[in-house]
Each structure stands twice: as structure tokens, then as C-alpha cells.
Structure 1
Amino acid sequence: MASLGGSVGTPKDGITAEVLLVKSFEDLESKSAEAKGKIVLFNVPFTTYGQTVQYRVNGASAASKHGAVASVLASVASYSMQTPHTGTMSYEEGVKKIPHAALTVEDANLIERFIKRGETVTLTLKMEAKNLPDAQSRNVIAEITGSEFPEEIIVMGGHIDAWDNGHGAMDDGGGCVAAWEALRLIKETGVRPKRTIRVVLWTNEENGLRGANEYLRWVQEDEKSLDNHILAMESDAGVFDPIGFGFSGSDDAYKILSEIGELLKPADSGEVRKGGGGADIGPLMRNGVPGMGLNVDGSKYFWFHHTAVDTIDKLNIDDFNECVATMAVFAYAVADLDVRLPR
């Protein structure tokens, strides 16, 4: 079991209660009369991250509204190795806060099988989770200044924070180092691009996006460079075998990026798909900056995501180097265009 980021803890002696199994929020509504005093188990099969993560984020308040004393869920994972997956959750204002935790998929399924056999399952939860005061953290920024249009910026990066139960090698240490290495490779060529290429390693992505939001504030109010942010690139899906990028922006920009992608056709990493971005470049994108996220073969990403096994041994150096090269080619090509990438 793993407590979820933002959850309250249990009393010292824990919480012991019968489990109420539900398969969806609608199922919980239909069993409202049974929920009082129970621990609600959301055992929801993984479909997509965006759909399934709603039970991690909103499950506690949903259960609390029906009188539950705690809630647990099957880890948000496409594949499980008896490892609980943590992640952030939130409480709805005005709703009593109850403890919320993730079970391994195997344990959630075991409980479901017992219940379907007519057994009464009782759980005891003991969680020491608590929220500490905020502490200062920082974004890390490095750049190569452009030779002709230094005020125009291509930014790329990942987030430097990770959940404490693992190393965060895939989420998102690999993405950070790939962006950093891409910048280093460009610098080593000795050829300065026309525009500035900036790497940002954003802090506090996992539980608040405060690094990304502060970067937006800084470029708007201090650097006053938002209008000169040409393109934002992010790697936050693991550094597996790269496919290309998912892009959100104008059709004219898409055509240019697709032409750049042809350079990487022999490596099968230059495909540019419509639709994409990232959490940390999201604030920039919502303010008009074109954005794109590195697409990789992510079939194993959710095996390790937010777990104790997200460790550096999962990194394949050949895949990693291809991610570095893919980011470097796109960043340099856009930075060295004769024309500014259109919005």
C-alpha cells in the first residue's frame, strides 16, 4: 500500500472497517446507502491514464460524501508487479477529509474476489501521512544564447521533482537529463543557433506545478519574453525508444516541424503528430506558445510510474541517447530557421 500525495493520515491506532467494493463513481452512487462507516475500494480497470487517474484524484471526496471513513483504490497502472503506485490527490472544499491510499492491483483484485464469493472483507489502515509547511525549491535554467535573435527562445525540459518512493528515473529524471544532454551536444558542435535554446528543469510538477507557473510569471513580468517564446518542448513520458513529438499549434508551424522530422526518418524518431504538449509547458501553451511533447514507446511506462521500481536500471542507454538526439535535432533546427516559427 502507498499513501497518496496530499492525503490525511489515520488516527494512531488506525482505521478498521468493512470494505465496500465499487467499480466506478456511478457504482458508488448506486451503493450510497451501504457506504457509511465503510472503507470504499475503487477497483477500476486501467483504460487510459487520464480516465483512470480520476479515482486517485477525486476518490476520497466522492467516498466521503457517502459517509465512508477511508478510501483505497487499485493502483493506476497498466501492468503491476505487486508494487503500489502513488501520486497526487485532492479534497473537495467543504467535504470531510478521509485517508486515501493505493493498493497493488493484485491485492485489489484479491479483495474483489473474496467479496464476490460472499466474504466480508475488513481492512485496517495505518497511515502517518501529513502535510508539512512549504519549503523553497528552484527551477534550474541553462541556455545557449542565439547569435542573431537572442531574444527569441526555444525552451525544452522536464521536471526535476519525483515521488519519494522511488528514484524517479523515468518520471522524470531521464527527461531532465535528456534535455540537458541535448543542449550539451549542441554546445559541443561549436555552432551557435540563430535563436536562444534554453533548458528548464521545472520544480514541483508532481504536486502543484508551481515551478511551471512561476516560470510563466517570470517570463511575463520579469524577463518580459512570453511573446518571444517560439516553441516549448517537454520530455515527461520516460526515455524509451523515441517516435517523435506530439504538437499543438498552428498548421503552418506543424508543416515546418514535419519537414524537420524528415531529417530523423532513418532513425524512426521524426514523426510529428497533431495534439500534444506537457504539464510543465502547459502554462506557456495556454498563453499562446506552441508546444510539443516527446512521444516514445511508452508501453512499459506505467509499469514503473510513481513506484519504488522507477529506478535508473530501467533506463536503456541506446533509447536514452536516441531521445537526446531527437530533442537536439528539433531544438536546433527550429532555433536556426531563417524565419520565426509561426504561432
Structure 2
Amino acid sequence: MKIYRRTLLVSLFFTGLVGCQNTQLEEPNIKITKQLQQSALTSPLAYDLVESLTVEVGPRLAGSNKDLVAVRWAENKLIKLGFDKVYKEAVQVPVWSRGEARAKVISPFSQPLVITALGGSIATPKEGLRAPIIRFDTLESLKLADKSDVDGKIVFIDHITERHKTGKGYGKTVGGRSRGAISASQKGAKAIVIRSIGTDHDRMAHTGMMRYKDGVAKIPAAAMSNPDADLINLILKRDPNVVLDLFISSQSHGFATSYNVIAEVTGNSKPDEIVLIGAHLDSWDEGTGAIDDGAGVAIVTAAGKLIQDLPQKPARTVRVVLFAAEEVGLVGGKAYAKAHKNELEKHYIAAESDFGAGRIYQIDYRVNESALEAIHAVSSPMVGNGVTLGSNTASGGPDVSVLPKQGVPVASLRQDGHDYFDYHHTPNDTLDKIDPMALQQNVAAYAQFAYLMAQSEVELRPITTGANLKPVIIEAK
């Protein structure tokens, strides 16, 4: 009762502030959001789902055989859970295999290194390659380097990722992973090896997608574990002439068909209007894809199921979208936007869970600035679940981040990510990293969010845009 009274008071406070829109929450809506929270906090469904996905499917790299196993798993689970509508939409995805990746210091001291190929990397020659390394603190310092200093060498970008609750340190370093091979090649480098984009001290390398550019020669790209990056620095202190042996056997194999898997709770009075909650079904192939993004799949599915089981459905349709191939370039998100372009004007709001399973502490929106206080009033029952009402700076999540430019309002349910980049894109992304109680709190937040948005009468468009609304978490992982 204490939480109920507090959320009601918060709602009434915001209602008093905003007179231009109908923000009065009806008591039945408040009661239902409280019931959703209580149900979520006692339900094992989300944990059961992510356990099933990681055990019965495991790693599910886009375009691989396991990717299609995951699609079948998702479709079967959504049907068994009794959603009003379950379907899938074909998506063409790039196919890439990791192969082997090995590296060692040849001189001045012989040392093995732990590395992994970056997603999309080409292979080295079959015999590998050997070259001296040249170290740079950042991608920017590489761009400023003299070509003659880099030519014929292996570039080593040694940018350390800072630990933050919001994960903002990732945004500062990930450019070296995604664009480093382009800059290194333009300077004549034979290959690039980066310090892993991670906050851990485990001897595990973090993979992730990298990119090439038309007209720029492709070079092999890898990441080394943080302890091995430290080792390289200690060797460089003793001798600046460090020679590395590098072998990578990654290959690209064209394209294959995967699917966005979609389930719907049909709206009661506005069924053609959509509240989208999503996650991505694919994962990298190093771990079992538990936090990235098995947790998100479980969160939004369980949240949708709670709404599906209500005695009366909300006004708008709640659409659960499990996106394909996020890790290799937001492929499923872009395909969804294209396939649904004629109904995007009917999307009331969208949000994606793709930052692990840490507790949600804040909700941010990307709506018309004049609607922010009104939508805060509507969202006020979420305060009772530990969620504060935040800013107007949301991106919505990686796949969903493509929607605001189409005019679709989005929300970001901010998770505590202080340890997310310890495990992200590593063999350590496994089920034991998920706290079942934190997962339940996420389900409660998404269920409340989706239900309240499906009932909301606040006009959110046209959304506010501008440089001042840059998201805290970068959009592509």
C-alpha cells in the first residue's frame, strides 16, 4: 500500500503540473500496473526463458545454423505462451565464420597472446604474417600519425575502456574497433590489433563488429585481452621494437536468410496502433549469449506475456519483436523499419532491452518536448519499481535507434551496466552472470511501460531532435 500511495501522489503531482494534455491516470490503470509489478517480481518465466535459450540453443551467430535454431526456438516459445499473433519476417544477413585466431610476441621476448578475430575480419595469409607493432593511445592519434611510421606494421590501439554505470566508456573506445582497420590500412598497416573494448581484467578477448570501406584495402583485425595489452606495454617499456606473429582464418560466406520473430497482444480499442518492445535474438559465438541479448529476449517476452494474460487487453497493440542480426550491423532493426514503413506512423512508442540484466534505474524518452511532463505523469507508477523519470535523450536501444529518424517516439529503460562490459562479447557471457531478481525487476518495468504506453492519451509527436539529445549509450554495439 505504501508504494501504491506514493505512485498515486507522483501521478497527481505531474497531473497538476500539466494542463495541456490529459495526463490523469485512471485508478484501474494504476491498479493494473501494480498488479503487473507484483506478478513480474514473483514469476520465474524470464529466467526460465533465458536458461532455455542459452542451454538449448547457445551461441547463435547471425547466418549460422544455430541462428535458425534460435528462430525456431523463439517461434515455438511465443506460440506456446499464447500470444494473440506470432509470425516471422525474413531478413537477409551476412554470414561470417570466426575460424582460428592466434598471436605471439616473437621479439624481444617470446610471449603467447590471447586474441580473437573481430567480426567481419578477413584472414591473414595462410602462413600468417609477422611485423613490428606500432602503438597508439586512441583511434584519433592513429589518424594523425605519419604514414611512413605506420607503413608495413601492425597497428596496436591501446585505448582503455572506462567503467561507468551508464556504459558511456564504451562509446569512447568502440571507434577503434569499428573503424580502426580503415585508418590503419590508409596508413599502410598490414593488420590491426586493439585492446579489448571491455572493463574486465580476465584473460579473455572481446569480439565485436568491425567495418571496411570501399576503396580501402582490407586488413586483418583482432582484439587482445586486457592483460595481454598490459603485457605489450610492459614489453614496449623495455624495448620499442616489438615484433608480432599473427594468424587469423576468418571467412565471409555471402548472405543467408534469418528472421525477425514477432508476437502481438492485440489492442482492445486501438489495435492498429503499436507499442513496440524488442530485443535481439542473435549473439556472438564466444559465450552463450546470456546477457547479450538472451536477457533482453526473456525480459520483453515475459513482459508481453503478463499483458497477454490480463483480463482485459490495453487499448493499443503491444508488439514484441525479437530482432535478427543486431550484432553485425542492426540488420534486423533496419529490415523491420523498411518492412513496416507504411505503419510507422501508427507506432506510438518503441523501446529495446539490450544492455544485460542489471536493474533498471531510470526511463528516458524521445518525445516532443512539450509532452515530456505529461508522459512522465503517465509513467509515474514505475517509480514504485525503483525507476526514476529521466530526460528526453533516449535512443530506444540499438535496433530501435533507427526509428526516431522516421518520426517514431522511443524510450530507453536505463539498466545498471557497471559490470556489463566485463562480459560483453566474451566467452564469459553465460547464464551465471544474470541475477534472477534483477531480471524480474526488468520484466516489471517493461510490463508497466508497455501497458501504460498502450493506455496513454498523450500525443508524443512530432518528436524532438537535435544534437542536445545525443543518447548516453551509443546506438550500435
TM-score (norm 1): 0.95
User: What is aligned with 2:262?
Assistant: 141
User: 2:355 corresponds to which residue?
Assistant: 237
Matching residue of 2:57: none
Equivalent residue in structure 1 for 2:443, among 290, 312, 324: 324
1: CA distance, partners of 2:349 / 2:363: 12
Structure 2 alignment gaps of length 5 or more: 1-114, 163-168, 463-477
Q: For residues 261 and 226 of structure 1, what CA distance do their matches in structure 2 show?
A: 23
- Equivalent residue number for residue 166 of structure 1: 287
Task: Trace 1:230-269 onto structure 2 (pairs within 5 A).
Answer: 230-269=348-387
Instruction: Verify the 8 A CA contact 1:236 1:294 in the aligned structure 2.
Output: no
Which of 285, 290, 297 does residue 176 from structure 1 map onto? Answer: 297
Preserved CA contact (<8 Å) 1:85 1:104: yes
1:299 aligns with 2:413: no
Q: Which residue of 2 aligns with 1:79?
A: 200
Question: 2:371 & 2:321 partners in 1: Cα distance?
Answer: 22
Match in the other structure for 1:289 = 408
Q: Shift of residue 5 of structure 1?
A: 0.7
Residues 17 and 253 (structure 1), Cα distance of their counterparts in 2 relative to 1, 3 Å cut:
same
State the alpha-carbon separation in 1 of the partners of residues 186 and 311 from structure 2: 61
Query: Which residue does 1:210 correspond to in 2?
Result: 331
- Identify the residue that residue 432 of structure 2 maps to in structure 1: 313
Identical residues among aligned pairs (%):
37
Aligned partner of residue 283 in structure 2, secondary structure: coil
In 2, the alpha carbon distance for the partners of 1:298 and 1:117 equals: 37
Give the drift of 1:246. 2.3
Q: Partner amino acid for 1:315? A: I
Mapped to 2, the partners of 1:184 and 1:42 lie a distance apart of 45
- Check conservation: 1:80, 1:105, Cα contact below 8 A: yes
One-letter code of the match for 1:307? T
> In 1, Cα distance between the equivalents of 2:385 and 2:352?
20
Q: Which residue of 2 aligns with 1:40?
A: 155
Structure 1 341/196 Cα, relative in aligned 2: closer, same or farther at 3 Å? farther
Higher relative contact order (CA 8 A, sep 6+): 2
Contact 1:114 1:120 in 2 (8 A): no
Q: How much does 1:187 deviate? A: 1.5
Which of residues 117, 131, 148 is equivalent to 1:3? 117
Alignment of 1:112-151 (within 5 A): 112-151=233-272
CA RMSD of the aligned region, Å? 1.5
Deviation at 1:338, TM superposition (A): 4.2
What's the counterpart of residue 59 of structure 1?
Answer: 180
- What's the CA shift for 1:209? 1.8
Relative distance call for 1:336 and 1:114 in structure 2 (3 A) is: same
- Residue of structure 2 equivalent to 1:333: 452
Gaps of 5+ in 1: none
Give the drift of 1:258.
Answer: 1.5
Q: How many residues align?
A: 340
Deviation at 1:190, TM superposition (A): 2.1
1:34 maps to a residue whose letter is D
CA positional deviation for 1:31:
4.7
Asked whether the equivalents of residues 357 and 434 of structure 2 are also in contact (C-alpha less than 8 Å), the reply is yes
Give the direction of change, closer, same or farther, for the CA distance of 1:210–1:25 in structure 2 (3 Å limit): closer
Cα distance in 1, alignment partners of residues 389 and 424 from structure 2: 25
Amino acid across the alignment from 2:358: F
Structure 2 counterpart of 1:305, one-letter code: H
Say whether 1:280 aligns with 2:404: no
Distance of 1:244 and 1:23 partners within structure 2 = 33
